[in-house]
Structures are given as C-alpha cells and as structure tokens.
Amino acid sequence: MRRRREGRRTEKKKVWDLTMPLLGQGSFSTIFSFNYEEDPQASEDDAAARPSRLTAATKFAWFDKLTAHRLPPDDSTLRHVRSVDDILYLARAGARWINLLDVSRLNAERRSQFVCETVSDEYLGRVGDALAPVVAEVKERGLFDRVYVYGFDEDGPECEPGVRKLFGGLKERFPGLRTASTLRFGDISEMGLPLDILICHIRFHNETAAQRWMDSGSNKTYMLYHSIEPSGLGHLNSFIERPAIDHRLILWQAAALSEVASGWLFWAVNAYAVGCPANPTPHGPVRRLNGTAQVDFNPGNCIWWPKWDFWANGDGQLVYPGQASKPLGSIRLASFLDGVEDLELLRMLPPADRLPLARRMVSAVDRWATAPPWVCRGRRRLTRGPARRRRRYSSDPALLEQVRRAVASKILQNRHITEVCSTWTCTGPRAPPP
C-alpha cells in the first residue's frame, strides 16, 4: 500500500491596504425606496402586500437587511410623515438622506388626486402642519441637515407653478429644509426653482447641463436613477433574467458617466403588485417547492396594470417576504452591494484617473448624443431615429476583476505619491523618488 505523502502548499495572496468607508462616511449615497406601513395587527401574509404591512418588531429585520447591503431603507414615496423612530434608525445606520414625506402625495391613495398645476393654500397648509412636529424634533436632535422632502415625481413643465408654490412655501415655513425631485423640465439651471436635490434618469443625463445645475446655487446635489427603463436588451437594468454582473454595473454608470453625481435612486425594493394577467393572485411568504431550490413566488410585477398591459420580472423587487415576516435577500440585492462598494472604491480616485478605468466596463457613449443638452428633458419620446445609441458595457467578470485591481493599484500609487510629497517639496507633476 502506497503511503500518502504529507506536505505543505505555499500560496501567495496580495492584500490591498484599503478600507471601505462606513455607511454614511463614503462619497456616494443611495435612496432605494422601501415602502411599508406599520400595523400592530399585521400577519405573516401582510409582509407580501403592497405596501408591506409590518409590526414594530418585524420592520427592523427588513431595515437591517437593507442597511447591511449599504441600501438604507429610505423611501421617496412616503404618503405619511415618517416616524421619528425610523428617522433615528436611519441616522444611526449612516443614511445620508432621509425623506420626511412625498409632499405631493399627502394621505393620497393615488397620486392622480394631486393636481400639480394648482396647489391650493389649504393643501400647502396641511402639508406644513403635518411636517411641523417632526421637523421640530429633527432640529432638536441635530439631524435637520440630513432630511429632505420629495415631490413631483417625473412631472413635466406644466407643474412649474405647483413646484414654486409647494416647495417654495415649505422652504419659507421651514428655512433650510431641502427639497428633492425627479422633475423633467428640461434645463432648469437658470429657472431659480426652490429645488435642492435634482435626481435625473440615467437615460437623460448630460454632464454639461448637470454641472450647470450644480453651479446654479449653493448646496445643490445631483443624483441619478434608473427605473423600468431602459428595458431593452443591451441596456443595463435590474430584471431577474439579466446576468448578476449587470446589476452590479448599474452603479458603475455613475463613475463612468459623471463627475458630479453623488447618489443613486431606485423606485422600490419591495413592490409586490399583483392583479394583472401575468400575476393574478396575491403573494404570500416565499416557500420552497417540494424541498427543491424552486419557490412559489411569481416574479411578474403588475405595477403598471391596468394603465398598461406589461410587466417586468422582479422590477422593484430586491427583497422578498419570508416566513414569520422576515426578509429574504436576492442575488440582485447582493450584486447592488458589490456595485456600491465598487463605486466607493472608484471614487477614491480623482476624476482624471477614475473615468478611464470605469469606462473599461461601462462606456460613455450617449444614446441621445444628437439631442439638446438638457438635464432631465421632458416627456418627448427620444428613442427613435439616428439619435438612439446604446451605451456599451462588458459583462466579463474577469475584466471586472482586472479593472478593480487596477483601481486599487492606482489608489495606492496616488497615496504613496502623497506621502512622499509630505516630506519633500513637490514643484512639478512628478513626485521625487522615494
């Protein structure tokens, strides 16, 4: 009998001396909307409703799941003023932005009940009265610089009078309160709107106009977002059937396409809409089928039904309702965590170094290159004709790892130059030899 020879195998591993910043201390923030209602009588099945209904005890399991993935559970679609308990949780978790209310949807069952063109004095007063107690509490706790109000979701130029009256009136009543919107007005940099946080769809981003917006006033913030669009093959989106690396690369667009964008919004992580032909029955907690890896959750999301007869698999669903009202993460949720961390790594580099590296994964080709350079242009269809061009991107995981290593190497190289320059007098583009 041959004796097995014992031995040792030597492996070399390269450890990068880099630390991921804590949530809230990085240079990039996210608003991935988690929509729920607190109900002390909520059952296990209610977590699968839209919006999810959770008890005070079970909601924090969902909060923790999202926070662990660097997507703190903010919500841009709030119809009721956020509770102080939620605000304190988000602040402790490190959330940069905390929405108090969608001021164009106060207590409204459907957004269509709000007429953006003619905001009444009575409605403005009700919104202000609803916000007053929580604004006072937030100020007392020193968190006023982290809260905002949202409104006028993807509204066009016809809503300008309402924007000026509602946002302007709230700013007059609560000086310093920040306002945020996904307005589609065209170039708003010279309009003097009472808006602080402009959130632009990735399809309509134009870097020159975005920089004009940032220069149009003090304390401005510019963010990007994606939605069910762009939905075509060849475009990055977060549908279930897309490769996992595609979800990770969605946030690389912020590094490859913009120097001024400092955040990303996604409309929902738990939108379990049913009732359309693709998904007619209510959801329940996710259960395995006969002990296999298959589950009984229909991923078709009827969010647009009955206005439009289409759906997308997993659109607005990054977490799922599990047993005992506990959340179940998805592969896409984990991929977004990787993407957020990739982005923090990329943003450790100056733009001159960051952009060419990021564009090895996501190209800066503008599909609407022949269209006017507007930020968040209006509702005109710009998806036909010669102006339609796809952004190129690579789904090669080997290339992704190669680029990440190049980014880390460049960060350490820049750090070494900085350290050397701290002990030498650097007068030119090159640092002195170590």
Give me the percent of the chain exceeding a pLDDT of 90: 66
> pLDDT-derived band of residue 367, with 50, 70 and 90 as boundaries?
very low
Q: Is the pLDDT of residue 303 over 70?
A: yes
Q: Residue 237: beta bridge partners?
A: none
237-257 pLDDT, tens digit per residue, is 999 999 999 999 999 999 998
Residue 384 confidence (pLDDT): 35
> pLDDT-derived band of residue 7, with 50, 70 and 90 as boundaries?
low
Q: Is the pLDDT of residue 278 over 90?
A: no
Domains and CATH numbers, the chain: 29-393 (3.20.20)
Q: What is the DSSP secondary structure assignment for residue 5, as one 8-state letter?
A: P
- DSSP 3-state of 52: strand
Can you list the alpha helix ranges (DSSP code H) found in 347-396?
351-358
Residue 432 confidence (pLDDT): 46
Q: How far apart are CA 30 and CA 7, in angstroms?
A: 49
Task: Determine the average pLDDT of the residues in 85-93.
Answer: 95
Buried b (16+ CB within 10 A) or exposed e, 194-207: bbbbbbbbbbbbbb
Q: Is the pLDDT of residue 377 over 90?
A: no
User: Comparing 131 with 387, which gets the higher pLDDT?
Assistant: 131
Q: How far apart are CA 346 and CA 340, in angstroms?
A: 10
- The structure's pTM equals 0.88
Asked whether the bond before 51 is cis by omega within 30 degrees of 0, the reply is yes
Q: By C-alpha distance, which of 339, 112, 383, 33 is closest to 229?
A: 383
> pLDDT-derived band of residue 381, with 50, 70 and 90 as boundaries?
very low
Q: With beta carbons less than 8 A apart as the criterion, state whether 123 and 151 touch.
A: no
Q: Which two tokens stand for residue 48?
A: 């699968």
> pLDDT-derived band of residue 111, with 50, 70 and 90 as boundaries?
low
Task: Determine the average pLDDT of the residues in 252-270.
Answer: 93
Task: Determine the average pLDDT of the residues in 125-137.
Answer: 97
Taking phi over 0 as left and psi of -120 to 50 as alpha, with beta for the rest, 186 belongs to left
Task: Determine the average pLDDT of the residues in 215-230.
Answer: 92
Average pLDDT along the chain? 86
